[in-house]
A and B are shown apart, each in its own frame.
Chain A
Amino acid sequence: MNGWILAATVGLGGGGAAALWGVTTGSPGRRVIAQNLTTSAVCPALLLLSQGYGRPAYVDLALLMALLGPVGTLVFARLLADDLADERPSAWGLTWAAAGLAAAVVIALCVAGGPGRAMVKLLVIGALLIGGNVIASRALAGGFREVRGG
């Protein structure tokens, strides 16, 4: 069991349990935030797993998750807008903490892997993760104003 897989296990255990607890209890606002943070908790774990198993091909999963996770959150933000209308859920502390985690994992993997195409891919995934997380959080906190008639 090498250190990367151990770190991924810890990240999965903590992040997954927290996301599951957040998505099953509380107001709709909190549940949508927990669903948003699932992406940010699970994607770094996937990156660590790809390094731990020694398979650079697994990084594609993290890429797809960084792309589709915010899409899922935007779907919920749009279609649950009526339920979220009174709340404006926002958790900027958690968002920035998740961004910090993503940055730390990407930097650690870039240092371990060394320069090359793989490093560019990792940097793209990190940018997508952080950017997608911020965009989805903005959408949740700002609300969709034009939804009333749609």
Chain B
Amino acid sequence: MNTAMHVLPYLVAVYVFLTGCYGLATSRNLIHAVGCLAVCQSATYVLLLAVGYRDGATAPVFSDIEPGSRPVVDPVVQALTLTDIVVGATVTALLLALVLQIAKRHGTVDPDELRELRG
């Protein structure tokens, strides 16, 4: 039971990532594909925070508790996750701008109908 609890966050992170990849691969609409990429990125947030989590510990924020009074979770992975979230938002915005340009040039957002990358 306890081992299942230790492993569950990683299993969920892997599941969410694979689900996002499945959606990305089988997508018929580029905007839907960008949404699936956002899902993949959220899997990485879950993985990072699961790595840093400690049982019974609390957040490394000391505005309302004394430093050193309670055990805290790892703060480095929280900084990584913060960066990851912001980068994810930026990448989503950039990709959506590219999708708009594709719609303007080719008149479609269906990846199967875009012929430029065909060999």
Of B3-11, B16-24, B55-63, B97-105, the stretch lying at the interface with chain A is B55-63
Q: How far apart sit A58 and B77, CA to CA, in the bound complex (Å)?
A: 19
> Considering only CB atoms, which chain A residue lies closest to B70 in the complex?
A54
Q: DSSP class of A's interface residues: helix, strand, loop or mixed?
A: helix
Is B25 engaged at the interface, CB distance under 8 Å to the other chain?
A: no
Is A145 engaged at the interface, CB distance under 8 Å to the other chain?
A: no
Contact with A along B23-63 (1 / 0, CB 8 A): 00000000000000000000000000000000000110101
Shortest Cβ distance from A112 into chain B, in angstroms?
16
A-B contact count (CB 8 A): 13
Is B1 engaged at the interface, CB distance under 8 Å to the other chain?
A: no
Is B65 engaged at the interface, CB distance under 8 Å to the other chain?
A: yes
A residues in contact with B65, CB < 8 Å: 55
Count contacts on B: residues with CB < 8 A to the other chain.
Answer: 6
Is A21 engaged at the interface, CB distance under 8 Å to the other chain?
A: no
Q: DSSP class of B's interface residues: helix, strand, loop or mixed?
A: loop
A residues in contact with B58, CB < 8 Å: 53-55
Contact with B along A53-69 (1 / 0, CB 8 A): 11111100000000000
Contact pick for B63, options A53, A54, A57, CB 8 Å: A57
Which A15-66 residues have a C-beta within 8 angstroms of B?
A: 53-58
Is B116 engaged at the interface, CB distance under 8 Å to the other chain?
A: no
A residues in contact with B63, CB < 8 Å: 57
Is B64 engaged at the interface, CB distance under 8 Å to the other chain?
A: yes
Q: How far apart sit A55 and B66, CA to CA, in the bound complex (Å)?
A: 11
B residues in contact with A54, CB < 8 Å: 58
> Considering only CB atoms, which chain A residue lies closest to B62 in the complex?
A57
Which A67-117 residues have a C-beta within 8 angstroms of B?
A: none
B residues in contact with A58, CB < 8 Å: 59
Q: List 13 A-B contacts (CB under 8 A).
A: A53-B58, A54-B58, A55-B58, A55-B59, A55-B61, A55-B64, A55-B65, A56-B64, A57-B59, A57-B61, A57-B63, A57-B64, A58-B59
Interface residues, chain B, with chain A CB atoms under 8 Å away: 58-59, 61, 63-65
Interface residues, chain A, with chain B CB atoms under 8 Å away: 53-58
Taking A55-B58, A57-B59, A57-B61 as given, write out 10 further A-B residue pairs in contact, using a Cβ cutoff of 8 Å, ordered by the A residue number.
A53-B58, A54-B58, A55-B59, A55-B61, A55-B64, A55-B65, A56-B64, A57-B63, A57-B64, A58-B59
